[in-house]
Amino acid sequence: MEIVALQVLNSLFYAAVLFLIAAGLSLIFGVMGIVNMAHGMFYALGAYVTAWSVGVAGSALPPAALFIFLLLGAMAVALVGLVIEPTLIRPFYRRPEEYQLLVTFGLLLVLEDVIRLIWGGTPITASGLVDSLGLVRIGGLPYPIYNMLMIGVGVIAAAAIWAFVYRTKFGVLLRATAQDRRMAAALGIDIGRIYILAFGLGCFMAGLAGAIVVPTQAAVLGMGVEVLVISFVVVVIGGLGSLEGALVGALIVSALRTITIQFWEEIELAALYLIAAIVLLIRPTGLFGRKA
Amino acid sequence: MSRRGLGGVAAVLALLLVFPFFAGTYQTQLLMYGLTLAIAALGFNLLLGYTGLLSFGHSAFLGTGAYTVALMMRYLGVSSLELFILGGVVCSAALAALLGVVCVRHTRIFFAILTLALSQVLWTLAYKFFWITGGTDGLRVPFSQLTLLGGLVSFPGADAFAKFITYYYYYVLVVFCACTALMWLIVHSPFGKTLQAIRDNETRARFLGVRIWRYRWLAFVVSGIFTGLAGILWVPLNGLVTPDVLYWPQSGKIVFFAVLGGFRNFAGPIVGAVIFNYLEVYAVAVTQYWQITLGLVLIALVTFLPAGIVGSAVRLGGRLKKKGSEQFP
């Protein structure tokens, strides 16, 4: 019974991370119509910046203060996004999709090597953050408090994004732009500002996901490439461009992943991709997708 | 084809035929990599350039061709390249037929994501079922165990490698020429014209009574077979197949070939694949940060040269011609 409780927690932790990545991907697609192949690299960048800054400041600061670096890592990634959108992505809004995919694929290649250039090939860890919070006993089994805290962060983030998109004036402008770009522009909305902020927000979420994950594993090369395909699976199941879809998709994917790892480890990823294909066959727009 | 076009093709062919005589073993080997990848690019471009479908999962076919060879060699003890080609083509055709049923129902971004996701199923299988596929260590396909032309040519002895490169070069060249000719016929056949009609206006094509899905599916299968064949020829050259060949950045590279050369031009992807191969090899040799080089080239390309190398050259040639004729009306 305890093992089930632990697996549910593991699954929720993974779902929180996946949601942050997939929601950013979905937000960028929903507003700008661009599928960002480099999105996984922003997640990796968040992980690297956080692990590196925790490593640099780790000895000087008390462990509790180190949590600020999770936020700083995410904000650093958002800054990178704010630079990249107007310089690199903006010229491609009017171009065919294959060029949009390719420019972000080029960005992925560049960012991966930039990470290698700055931090080298050896993984960096920030496990001190997990250790500083200690363990809690569930039944008789130990479980890191850090993971439980981060599930909470995931819930708060989901609520905050929901409130931001559906309850603020900026959210209204965002949704208006997503629905009809030309009409929104004609009504005097500054589309350029909406785009740059949406892209920055998407990057912030991916960076936060990376920052949350890195204390439990390590920042390694290839993590961005790997996570991208899984977040595609999430948005395909949930529906590209839908925040609710990203949430439900993240929960489904992480539950499925936990179950397959428990019972038949080899088919873990294959099962995910197959589920995505089946959903696309039955409901091409995903569970929550809008009709194209 | 115009007379000038035919002359150009003959010149390139002659150059390819004599290439091993004045270039060393290494250069021949490099060009061979380029030619096998060019076959993959030809297949890929039947979808992107002629049908308007961007596949981000063509690594699946390249990998299926390569793994079929490796598995046949390891578990069935086959050594004949002709049998490998037979087995590999059957396997990639079967895979393409299966994936095609799912994928061609979608277009645009969903097609790209679906092909990507499905190709990654194969990657995880190759990666996780290590007791069959060797996992990340991969499977070796040593050229010394290979025979060509039904066992007539084999490669024993001390200077076997140079002999292999020379013989295999001409083998690859013949297959490459056959593939190029076949693809030329396909895209200029009524079938190819129908694909282009679907690409340009799906609704109109449907009103004309074209069964869109069936045509797209057929294009998908043909495309998969070509790319599978490229994987078959590539693996003895490489001597090893690892799951990397199935991983999705490999699909990105195939897209890269087409864009580099220009996917709206028949010869574009061929040129793109050969040039990309040189670009990658020399970038890797010069710096460990070769990805950044490729990434920047790709970004510059889609930003400033969207028609690709061949497309831009053709356009430039056309403009010069026009200027000339304006001077002497």
Q: Number of residue pairs across A and B with CB atoms under 8 Å?
A: 123
Question: Which pLDDT score, from 0 to 100, does residue B327 have?
Answer: 47
CB A227 within 8 A of CB A21: yes
Q: What per-residue confidence (pLDDT) applies to A45?
A: 94
Give the contacts of A106 (CB within 8 A, at least 6 positions apart): B294, B295, B296, B297, B298, B299, B302
Is the pLDDT higher at B221 or at B155? B221
Which residue of B105, B116, B213, B290 is the best one to mutate when testing the A interface, meaning the one whose CB has the most A CBs within 10 A? B116
* pLDDT in the model for residue A10: 86
Domains of chain A, first to last:
2-282 (1.10.3470)
- Residue B247: list chain A partners with CB under 8 A: 225
Q: Is the pLDDT of residue B221 over 70?
A: yes
What angle separates helix B248-261 from helix B290-304, to the nearest 10 degrees?
Answer: 40
The whole-number average pLDDT for the span B63-73 is 91
Q: Quick one: what percent of chain B has pLDDT higher than 90?
A: 24
The predicted-structure confidence for B5-39, as pLDDT tens digits, reads as follows: 788 888 888 888 788 788 888 888 888 999 999 99
pLDDT-derived band at B76 (thresholds 50, 70, 90) equals: confident
pLDDT for residue B328 is more than 50:
no
Instruction: Compute CA distances A5 → A136, A143, A146, whole Å.
Output: 13, 10, 16
Nearest CA in chain B to A239: B110
- ipTM of predicted assembly, 2 dp: 0.84
State residue B177's pLDDT score: 92
Contact B120, A229 (CB under 8 A): yes
Backbone conformation region of residue B189, classed left if phi is above 0, alpha if psi is from -120 to 50, else beta: beta
Break chain B into its structural domains and give their ranges: 23-247
A235 neighbors A286 (Cβ within 8 angstroms): yes
In sign, the C-alpha dihedral spanning B38, B42, B47, B51 is positive
Q: What confidence score (pLDDT) does residue B329 get?
A: 41
pTM value is 0.85
pLDDT band with cut points at 50, 70 and 90 for residue B222: very high
Q: How many CA atoms lie within 13 A of A212 on its CB side?
A: 25
Q: Which chain B residues touch A103 with a CB distance below 8 Å? A: 298-299, 302-303
Q: What average pLDDT score do residues B279-308 get?
A: 83
Task: Give the nearest chain B residue to A118 (CA atoms).
Answer: B289
What single DSSP character describes residue B53?
Answer: -
Strand B240-241 and strand B153-154: pairing?
A: unpaired
Q: State the pLDDT at residue B6.
A: 84
Q: Do A106 and B302 touch (CB under 8 A)?
A: yes
- Residue B1 has a pLDDT of 64
Chain A interface test: which of B133, B298, B304, B305 (most A C-beta within 10 Å): B298
Task: Provide, as residue numbers in chain B, all residues whose Cβ is less than 8 Å from the Cβ of A280.
Answer: 102, 106, 110, 114
Indicate the residue type of B189: S
Answer yes or no: is pLDDT of B64 > 90: yes
Smallest Cα distance from A137 to chain B, Å:
33
Q: Give dist(CA A129, CA A215) in Å, integer.
A: 6
Tens of pLDDT, residues A161-208:
889 888 988 888 888 888 888 888 888 888 888 889 999 999 999 999
pLDDT score of A19:
93
Could you give the CA distance from residue B309 to residue B271 in angstroms, rounded to a whole number?
Answer: 8
Angle, helices B3-22/B160-188, rounded to nearest 10 degrees: 170
- Residue A238 near residue A249, CB atoms below 8 Å: yes
Cα dihedral B200, B203, B207, B213 in deg (nearest 10): 80
Is the pLDDT assigned to residue B184 strictly greater than 50? Answer: yes
d(CA A93, CA A241): 16
**pLDDT digit of tens for each residue in chain A (292 aa)?**
778 888 888 889 899 999 999 999 988 888 888 888 899 999 999 999 998 988 887 767 777 777 788 888 899 999 999 999 888 888 888 888 878 888 898 999 899 889 988 988 888 888 777 777 788 888 778 888 888 888 998 899 889 988 988 898 888 888 888 888 888 888 888 888 888 999 999 999 999 999 988 888 888 888 888 888 888 889 888 888 888 889 999 999 999 888 888 888 777 777 888 888 788 778 777 778 764 4
* A250 within 8 A of A227, measured Cβ to Cβ: no
Residues of A with Cβ-Cβ distance to B56 under 8 angstroms: 101
